[in-house]
Amino acid sequence: MDFNLNDLRINTSKETYRNLSYAELVAHAIRNGEGTLADSGALVEKTGKYTGRSPKDRFIVKHESINNLINWGAVNLPIEEEIFNNL
């Protein structure tokens, strides 16, 4: 099957790769300064400034069957089903 990023409306002037092996992915990460190898051989990625989760980006669809079971607040934010379905 032919695969073309333009069919997905993804336009880039950079070289893109597809279905790389683990070894190829590791080589790219090291070459691009994105990670290093641990003594065990595992790839250690640099996560940068933002290493944690994003708690204010968590939404739960409001529904009468679960509304009383959710601890709504700054972490568990409600979203209407129609909005969720349009995402």
Choose the weakest-confidence range: 3-7, 26-30, 33-37.
Answer: 3-7
Rounded Cα–Cα distance for residues 67 and 72 (Å): 8
What pLDDT is stored for residue 63 in this prediction?
Answer: 92
Which has more pLDDT, 10 or 2?
10
pLDDT 10s digits, 29-75: 999 998 999 999 999 987 777 767 777 788 999 999 999 999 999 88
pTM to 2 decimal places: 0.47
What pLDDT is stored for residue 10 in this prediction?
Answer: 79
What pLDDT is stored for residue 2 in this prediction?
Answer: 64
What pLDDT is stored for residue 1 in this prediction?
Answer: 55
- Bin 61: left if φ > 0, else alpha if -120 < ψ < 50, else beta: beta
Beta-carbon neighbour count of residue 72 at 10 Å? 12
